[in-house]
C-alpha cells in the first residue's frame, strides 16, 4: 500500500514587495498554521520516507515552519514542475516517485492539489472528506490518500482519502478572516 500526503503551502504574504509570485514568503498566520500542522502530523505518528516539493519561497518557508512543529527537518526533492502544477503534471510527478517510497509527502499549490484529490478519489456522495476537499482546500491543509498499487498505477478514482486536515480544524483562530 502506498500513502500520498498532499500539503498545500501555508498562507503567504501579499504585503512584501517581491517581483515574482514565486518569491512570496509566508505571513505570520501561515507560519503559525504550518507549525501547528507539523505538531499534529507528529502527534498522529505520521512519517514520510520521501518528500517532494515546489521550490517556491512560500513552500520552502512552509517546510521550515512544519519542521519546527514536527520536531525534525525535512530534506525534500525540489521539483520545479510542482510550481502551480496542473493535476496532469502532478500525476506525472507521482508516477515517477521512487518505488521503494511507501509514504510520500508532496508539498505544492492550489488549484492543482485540490483538483488532484478530486481526480484520484472516487466521487461518492457518502464520502464526507472528499466533499470537504471539493468545497475548499485552504492553505496549510493536508490530504492523505492511500493506494493499493505502486506509484505508476495511480490514476483517476484509484485512491481512498483517509484524512483531510485544515488548520482551522486544529485551531479555530486559523480559520477564514482570522488574524
| Cα–Cα dist 5/23, whole Å | 24
| Cα–Cα dist 21/87, whole Å | 20
| Cα–Cα dist 118/9, whole Å | 18
Nearest-CA neighbor of 24 among 47, 58, 62, 53? 58
Chain centroid offset of residue 88 CA: 16
Residues of the chain with pLDDT under 50: none
Domain assignment present for 18? no
Domain assignment present for 108? yes
Q: pLDDT at position 98, please? A: 98
- Residue 159, classified by CB atoms within 10 Å of its CB into exposed (0-12), middle (13-18) or buried (19+), is buried
Domain count, the chain: 1
Strand partners, 2: 147
Domain assignment present for 17? no
Nearest-CA neighbor of 135 among 171, 88, 168? 168
Instruction: Residue 145: count other Cβ atoms within 10 Å of its Cβ.
Output: 24
Beta strands in 70-128 (DSSP E): 77-78, 103-108
Domain assignment present for 96? yes
Domain assignment present for 143? yes
Domain assignment present for 159? yes
CATH assignment of the domain containing 116: 3.40.50.1240
What pLDDT, in 10s, does the model give residues 23-57? Answer: 999 999 999 999 999 999 999 999 999 999 999 99
Q: pLDDT at position 15, please? A: 80
Domain that residue 118 falls in: 2-11+23-174
Q: pLDDT at position 18, please? A: 76
Domain assignment present for 179? no
Predicted TM-score of the model (pTM): 0.96
Q: Are 23 and 57 in contact, with CB atoms under 8 Å apart?
A: yes
Q: pLDDT at position 54, please? A: 98
Q: pLDDT at position 105, please? A: 98
| Cα–Cα dist 81/102, whole Å | 21
Domain assignment present for 92? yes
Q: Are 148 and 141 in contact, with CB atoms under 8 Å apart?
A: no
Amino acid at each position: 500500500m502506498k500513502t500520498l500526503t498532499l500539503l498545500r503551502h501555508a498562507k503567504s504574504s501579499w504585503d512584501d514587495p517581491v517581483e515574482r509570485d514565486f518569491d512570496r514568503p509566508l505571513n505570520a498566520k501561515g507560519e503559525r498554521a504550518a507549525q501547528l500542522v507539523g505538531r499534529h502530523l507528529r502527534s498522529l505518528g505520521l512519517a514520510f520516507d520521501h518528500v517532494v516539493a515546489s521550490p517556491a519561497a512560500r513552500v520552502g518557508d512552509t517546510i521550515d515552519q512544519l519542521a519546527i512543529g514536527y520536531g525534525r527537518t525535512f530534506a525534500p526533492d525540489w521539483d520545479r514542475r510542482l510550481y502551480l502544477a496542473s493535476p496532469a503534471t502532478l500525476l506525472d510527478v507521482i508516477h515517477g516517485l521512487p518505488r521503494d517510497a511507501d509514504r510520500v509527502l508532496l508539498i505544492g499549490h492550489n488549484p492543482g492539489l485540490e483538483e488532484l484529490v478530486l481526480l484520484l478519489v472516487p466521487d461518492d456522495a457518502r464520502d464526507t472528506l472528499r466533499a470537504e476537499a471539493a468545497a475548499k482546500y485552504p492553505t496549510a491543509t493536508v490530504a492523505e490518500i492511500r493506494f493499493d498499487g505502486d506509484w505508476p498505477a495511480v490514476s483517476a478514482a484509484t485512491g481512498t482519502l483517509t484524512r483531510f486536515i485544515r488548520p482551522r480544524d486544529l485551531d479555530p483562530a486559523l480559520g477564514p478572516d482570522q488574524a
